[in-house]
Chain A
Amino acid sequence: DTAVSQTPKYLVTQMGNDKSIKCEQNLGHDTMYWYKQDSKKFLKIMFSYNNKELIINETVPNRFSPKSPDKAHLNLHINSLELGDSAVYFCASSQKGSNREKLFFGSGTQLSVL
């Protein structure tokens, strides 16, 4: 039933490791996003994909690589994790048309890098 689902919900890992966060939406939307929320609760867009094509890349380090195998999935892979990557990562989706700007968010993945 969950519209936008992310896994895992919590991720604890050591510096230098590589990790992935998965996101799936069952809303039939054509656009998906990754947002990052830092420890001060500030939310900022990282990436957006429309029909598997990258359309927004907000000056994110290239250690972060989104991958969209199909329009229902947008995974986030992070290489060589750093302490500053600790944050909550939110996946979201939206649909072309009059409701394009209404984003549906997943419940977030809390990443802790030790």
Chain B
Amino acid sequence: AQKVTQAQTEISVVEKEDVTLDCVYETRDTTYYLFWYKQPPSGELVFLIRRNSFDEQNEISGRYSWNFQKSTSSFNFTITASQVVDSAVYFCALSEAGTASKLTFGTGTRLQVTL
């Protein structure tokens, strides 16, 4: 069975600080996909990144970066120089490769960025 653990339920930082959101996953599949989604206060789910299990290269997109470590089954997300607009709930998710995307979500980490 698949499982995604986001141990940090809530994080508060001051603007311009860097923050890392942790994600640890469990799966028996050799091919799988990892995701991060953002849920701002308005409630919609915004796709941030998808990473497949064969690609362990870290990725950077602006102030966002992701560190995929297969050896520790982790897919952590770092926001550099955080901004108030980054305040949201962030979800890590796992999907097995197959006919449809059955995403298993973590419980989310609420990030609060203050001035």
Chain A residues in the interface with B (C-beta under 8 A):
31, 33, 35, 40-45, 48, 50, 55-56, 88, 90, 92, 94, 100-108, 110
Contact = CB atoms under 8 A, between A and B. Distances in A.
B30 interface: no
Contact of B43 (A50, A104, A107): A107
Given A42-B105, A101-B50, A50 B99 contact: yes
B101, B103, B105, most chain A CB atoms within 10 A: B101
B100 A41 contact: no
Interface of B: 33, 35, 37, 39, 42-45, 47, 50, 89, 91, 93, 95, 97, 99-103, 105, 107-108
Contact of B100 (A44, A50, A104): A50
Report whether over half of chain A's contact residues are helix, strand or loop; otherwise say mixed.
strand
Nearest to B89: A41
B103 A45 contact: yes
Contact of A94 (B89, B97, B101): B101
Given A102-B47, A103-B47, A43 B91 contact: yes
Contacts of B45: 90, 92, 105, 108
Contacts of A101: 33, 35, 50, 95, 97, 101, 103
B43 A56 contact: no
B101 to A, nearest CB: 4
